[in-house]
Chains A and B, each alone.
Chain A
Amino acid sequence: MGTEAVGRAIKPALVKARALCKRYVQRAPFSRKKFVIDALMDVDLEIALGCLTALVGESGSGKSTLASCLGILEKPDRGEIWFEGSKVSFANSRELTALRPKIQMVFQDSAGALNPRFSAAQIIEEPLEIQGRESGARLRARACELMEEVGLSPDAGNRSPLEFSGGQRQRLAIARALALKPTFLILDESLSGLDLATQAQILNLLLDLQTSHSLTYLLISHDLSLVGQVADFVAVMHHGKIVECGSRQQVFSAPQHAHTKELLASVGVVEAAFRTAQVGGGQ
């Protein structure tokens, strides 16, 4: 049902996931009891080329597991992932090495994701060096270019990432992700730790980069009101399943699943309270 909406879009799918399953088995400390967590249960998702798809859900709904499966950081137990029309899920290691630069991730905790012993410029240079894309003086020049592109001053290249503010660190993480010219960027709660003003600035940066780099985004968030402003498509996750998926308009104006309605209601309550406060105080 809902998933077809994305498929029906005019734009072809860059990424397709079919019946993905992932189960984690945990053993409680000092006991033989095992806990089974079904993080993904038959997840189908298509991400349209050149679009911003938002994945929303509560914490524990399986968003991040899906992200790391699509980012080839984790192997699903069952199911298939297709990227640019070829099957990823069981590719051999050489094929994976060629594929990895095209799919990049930006994480939530920018302080934890950036090596504090590297300078800002070194952080961006590292992937370029590993993939042998640039060397010598070109390396630093490319890093400076990238810093400018995300709105950081290249003069700050020698500073440690810990000297930057949260928003600047997230810009740095985006610059690193862009270094290898990816086509698909996964942003796993990348905006959650930031305040509203910074969130808006980073979202605008992402929209600018989308056109200049022809990027496809998967933006993961628990905040429906944030992603609802910019997403082309919205997928809602609940207990390891995608319960609703469609264009922004469809999901916001005619939500089908009870969980989506619940999420929208809680967003609506806050927004309505704000409007009421505005009207009430004006009288």
Chain B
Amino acid sequence: MGLFTNMMPFATVSLEGAALLRVRALTVTYSTRNRQSAPALRRVSFDIAPGEILGILGESGSGKSTLALAILGLLPANCSVEGTILFQDEDLLQMDESRWREIRGAKISMIFQEPGLSLSPVMRVGDQIAEIIRAHRPGNGKTRKLECEAVLRGVRLSEVDRIYRAYPHQLSGGELHRVAIAQALACRPDLVIADESTRSLDVTVQAEVLNLLREINRKRGSALIFITHNPALLAGFADRVMVMYAGGIVEQGPTAQVFSRPLHPYTKGLLQLIPRSRNGTNLTSEGRLPVIPGSLPALNPSSRGCLFEPRCSVRTAHCQNESPGEVTPERGRRVSCFNYGN
């Protein structure tokens, strides 16, 4: 029923050819002992083509990280998951743990938020990369070491020898970040997920890491999901953007089009937040920064209507009672709003 009608228009969204990842009507609900909470992801559907960079944009609490964990099968046990996640035509949600182990790290891998925390402090960095290669590929210690060094060189780390033998605390933030990227790329995965991974980096290092990610993506053709709250990072980097709000996708489309003509009022609000420090500030007449008024709604299962309605500037009476479905205003773009473009 609903699932099928939802699927049809997507043929126009993905790039030509088969999609690498197809997510359909994905709903994730965290349940606590004594109460049924609202879904953290609400009927999320999207595609990624092989070799594409997809930017996911949203505030904290919008469900970005839950989505990343769902694709990796790392959601905690108190989650109920509905929908399908097709990866190379295989449903990830139906897989058993042994099959998962063959996929995680080898076909889908992740660059986590704090590389300093996701690396083991008591193992040499090189051994941690070798460990992943050993888990997924044949070979002996010697070939693995050569592979590791090649991967480290691939993320433009010089002094490969020093890095290989170093413990995480002996490396700088930028170096650690590159090691984390090397770890994610070690087995040449088809899909890499980066979750707010550049957040803790200095602006200068951040730009370098973004360049590196894009270069690797172009060279190897591995698809990338880049999760962030800062739209400015996605410009000139992501092929497509997907804007999330309160667990749902409110807008998606090619980056340049979404940024030049945002359709959803939330996307418009987000783009206004980007600092304009060089050519004068974008302060309001009262000398304040532009904001999206209000905050994320407290999710409850019985909420009706559009979840953005209380903060929306173009709301109508209709928005309170009915939640807007996704429409395709033009080729390649989708938006969930009754009054989009106003």
Contacts and interface: CB of A to CB of B under 8 A. Distances in A.
Interface of A: 58-59, 165-167, 192-198, 200-201, 203-204, 207, 222-226, 228-230, 252, 262-264, 266-271, 273-274, 276-282
Contact of B207 (A200, A226, A270, A277): A270
Given A195-B59, A274-B232, 6 more contacts: A193-B199, A197-B229, A197-B291, A230-B283, A274-B236, A276-B236
Nearest to A204: B288
A145 B28 CA distance: 39
Given A167-B295, A252-B278, A277-B236, A196 B230 contact: yes
A200 B230 CA distance: 12
Interface residues of B, number: 46
Given A196-B270, A271-B232, A226 B255 contact: no
Contacts of A271: 232, 274-278
Given A165-B61, A204-B291, A229-B282, A273 B235 contact: yes
Nearest to B207: A266
Identify the 7 closest CB pairs spanning chains A and B, nearest first.
A281-B256, A228-B277, A281-B260, A195-B229, A273-B236, A274-B235, A277-B235
Contacts of A204: 288-289, 291
B259 A278 contact: yes
B289 A198 contact: no
B290 interface: yes
Q: By DSSP majority rule, is chain A's interface helix, strand, loop, or mixed? A: helix
A9 B291 CA distance: 31
7 contacts: A195-B229, A229-B276, A229-B281, A268-B278, A278-B235, A280-B256, A281-B255
B171 interface: no
Contacts of B277: 224-225, 228-229, 252, 267, 271
B97 interface: no
A252 B296 CA distance: 34
Interface in B158-214: 173, 199-200, 202-204, 206-207
A58 B275 contact: no
A277 B256 contact: yes
Contacts of B304: none
B258 interface: yes
A264 B259 CA distance: 23
Interface in B83-111: none
A97 B276 CA distance: 42
Nearest to A268: B278
B59 A197 contact: yes
A279 B275 contact: no
B79 interface: no
B261 interface: yes
A270 B292 CA distance: 22
A222 B174 CA distance: 14
Contacts of B292: 197
Contacts of B273: 196-197, 200
B60 interface: yes
Contacts of B295: 165, 167
Contacts of B290: 200
Contacts of B60: 165-166, 194-195, 198
B324 interface: no
A191 B236 CA distance: 26
B29 to A, nearest CB: 20
A230 B289 contact: yes
B141 interface: no
B281 to A, nearest CB: 5
Contacts of B120: none
A209 to B, nearest CB: 12
A268 B276 CA distance: 9
Nearest to B259: A277
Interface string B284-315: 00011111100110000000000000000000
B298 to A, nearest CB: 10
A270 B232 contact: yes
